[in-house]
Chains A and B, each alone.
Chain A
Amino acid sequence: MNTYKKYTIEELLLDDYFISSTLHPTQDSKEYWDYLLQNGYVQTDDFERATLFVHAVQSPKEKMFRKEKELLWERIEIENKKILANKIRRLHRVSLLAAACIAILLGVTITPYFYREKDKTSINPMALLEQKTIEPVGEDICLILSDSEKMNFKEKSADVKNNKKGEVKVNSQTLSKEEHVNSEEKENSQLKEEETTYNQLIVPKGKHSTLLLSDGTKLWVNAASHVVYPVVFDREKREIYVKGEVYLEVARNESVPFIVKTDRMEIEVLGTSFNVKSFDAIEENSDVVLVTGSVNVRTESGKKIELKPNQRFSYAKDGKSTIENVDVYDYICWKDGLMRFKSENLSNILKRLSDYYGKDICWGKEIEDLKCSGKLDLKEDMENVLDGLTKMLPVVYSKDGENYHFSMNN
Chain B
Amino acid sequence: MEEQVNISNLWRRFVEGDDYAYAQIYDLCGDDMLVYGLHFTSDRELVKDCMQDVFVDLYKRRRKLEKEMDNVKCYLFIALKNKLFDAFKKSVEFYQIETLEPVFHTEYTVEDLFIRSETNRHQRAKIKEILQRLTPRQHEVIYYRYVEEMSYEEIGKLMQMNVQSVRNLLSRSIQRARDFVSEYVFSLILLVQLFWS
Contacts and interface: CB of A to CB of B under 8 A. Distances in A.
A55 B192 contact: yes
Interface stretch (A74-82, A145-153, A342-350, A357-365): A74-82
B51 interface: yes
Contacts of B39: 59
B125 interface: no
Contacts of A55: 113, 192, 196
Between A64, A76, A252, the greatest number of chain B beta carbons within 10 A of the residue's beta carbon is seen for A76
A54 B146 contact: yes
Contact of A69 (B17, B31, B182): B31
A50 B59 CA distance: 42
A45 interface: yes
Given A59-B109, A63-B31, A52 B189 contact: yes
A59 B39 CA distance: 10
Given A20-B149, A59-B147, A63-B31, A49 B181 contact: yes
Interface in B49-64: 51-52, 55-56, 59-60
Contacts of B186: 45, 48-49
Interface in A362-378: none
A382 B52 CA distance: 33
Contacts of B113: 55-56
A72 B51 contact: yes
A99 B19 CA distance: 11
Nearest to A69: B30
B20 A216 contact: yes
Interface stretch (A7-15, A31-39, A185-193, A320-328): A7-15
Given A55-B192, A56-B131, A13 B167 contact: no
Nearest to A97: B19
A302 interface: no
A100 B107 CA distance: 46
B100 interface: no
A216 B30 CA distance: 19
A329 to B, nearest CB: 15
Contacts of B32: 61
A58 interface: yes
A9 B60 contact: no
B16 to A, nearest CB: 8
A57 B60 contact: no
Contacts of B115: none
Main secondary structure of the interface of A (DSSP, over half): helix
B19 A249 contact: yes
Contact of B108 (A10, A59, A75, A100): A59
> Interface range on chain A: under 10, 10 to 19, 20 to 34, or 35 or more?
35 or more
A61 B189 contact: no
A19 interface: yes
A64 B31 contact: yes
B67 interface: no
Nearest to B34: A64
A57 B55 contact: no
Interface stretch (B73-81, B82-90, B172-180): B172-180
Interface string B109-149: 11011000000000000010001000000000011011101
Between B31, B55, B181, the greatest number of chain A beta carbons within 10 A of the residue's beta carbon is seen for B181
A218 B18 CA distance: 11
A336 interface: no
Nearest to A53: B177
Contacts of A112: none
B158 interface: no
A82 to B, nearest CB: 9
B69 interface: no
Given A59-B106, A64-B30, A49 B178 contact: yes
Contacts of B151: 16
A218 B24 CA distance: 11
Contacts of B46: none
A251 B9 CA distance: 11
Contact of A52 (B17, B108, B192): B192
B23 interface: yes
Given A58-B147, A64-B31, 9 more contacts: A19-B146, A19-B149, A49-B181, A53-B174, A56-B113, A59-B147, A69-B31, A80-B56, A99-B17
8 contacts: A16-B151, A19-B149, A52-B185, A57-B147, A59-B147, A64-B30, A83-B56, A83-B60
Closest A-B pairs by Cβ, 8 of them: A49-B181, A53-B177, A63-B31, A13-B174, A76-B55, A79-B56, A80-B59, A48-B189
